[in-house]
Amino acid sequence: MRLPLEVYPYSAGLKAGLAGAAAMALVGCLFGVLTHGSIWYPINLLAAAGSAPLTGATDAELARFSPGGLILASVAHLSLSILVGIVYAALLPIFSRRPILTAGLAIPVLMSGITWALLGVVNPLLNERIEWTWFIASQVAFGLVAGWVVSRTERIATAQTLPLALRAGLEATGLPRPAGADPPADGIASAQGTSGFDRLYGANCAGCHGANGQNGAALSLNDSVYRTIMDSIAVRRAVATGVPGRMPGNSEARSGAVYDPSYLALVSDQWLRTATIVGRPEHGMPDWRGYVPGRPMTNTEIADVVAWLAAQRVPFAGQPYVSRR
């Protein structure tokens, strides 16, 4: 068990709760037909948890249709199913290795045990009338269906991997960075000792973070608080892998340059215009509202960006073939 780096949206829990409710209702109706010859028996039995008259009713009375019992049971069943479905969506990422086993066996058995213990104290009469084998079977059916629905939903990245400074959004002035805070053993070269740093920063970072690390549309890098909290390892990770939803990664394994001729040979001008307008959220690329500080891009500026990128295409893109001698 661990804190998840990715979680399921609450909408997955809602869908899982509704699907699990349907599966559970089918098992319940099957139980009613096979044991009491009526689908209304399990419905009225569920409603008996909140109705004193139904709690004291005979089996024959529970097997008959009851409008009040149907309404009470439907509200209770849907409400609890949706609640448990959301709990599934929250818990399954924690047990990511065996989500279906957790949802279809572990949680249903746990929920059945809790229900049995509570009813034994709160409503012993109702507790005696429940067929616990069928009850556990309905819980397992709910868990399997709900777990399957949740596990097929695309996950959302959390902020667990982000440094504290990025999660807190700190940009204010603070104490200076202590001298020698980063030992040379971390393998990170300083800007003074890196050839071409200004060129690399200007080509890849200045557009969002500003020419000198300030006054850009994105986080100010030349900020004393940021430089105090962020060590070189965290900075290296952010540059290489990016910040989900905010900044794309810059390592070769994560992404390539948008002006790479090989990439431009594969996409059309319309694709470039679409990417400029709507962004690429999955890669951390902002949309047309986030490129220029303080205002969205104009139609002319968008057209200029597309025209410049299109001009970077070459007649024969890709790696050159080895010449045959």
Residue 173 has pLDDT above 50, yes or no: no
What's the number of CA atoms in the CB half-sphere (13 Å) around residue 304? 6
pLDDT at residue 217 tops 80: no
Question: Is the predicted pLDDT of residue 183 greater than 70, yes or no?
Answer: no
What number is the average pLDDT over the span 189-194?
Answer: 50
Predicted confidence at residue 325, as pLDDT, reads: 40
- Answer yes or no: is pLDDT of 319 > 80: no
Output the 3-class SS for 198-247: HHHHHHHCHHHHCCCCCCCCCCCCCCHHHHHHCCHHHHHHHHHHCECCCE
Half-sphere exposure of 195 (CA within 13 A, CB side): 0
Mean pLDDT, range 159-188, rounded to an integer: 49
Rounded to the nearest 10°, the torsion over CA 240, 243, 248, 252 is 20
One-letter identity of residue 140: V
Report the distance separating Cα 230 and Cα 215, nearest Å. Answer: 19
Mean pLDDT of the chain: 75
The stretch 152-158 carries a mean pLDDT of 75
Q: Does position 192 have pLDDT exceeding 70, yes or no?
A: no
Query: Which of the two residues, 1 and 83, has the higher pLDDT score?
Result: 83
Domain positions in the chain: 6-157, 161-190+218-255, 256-320
Q: How far apart are CA 209 and CA 203, in angstroms?
A: 11
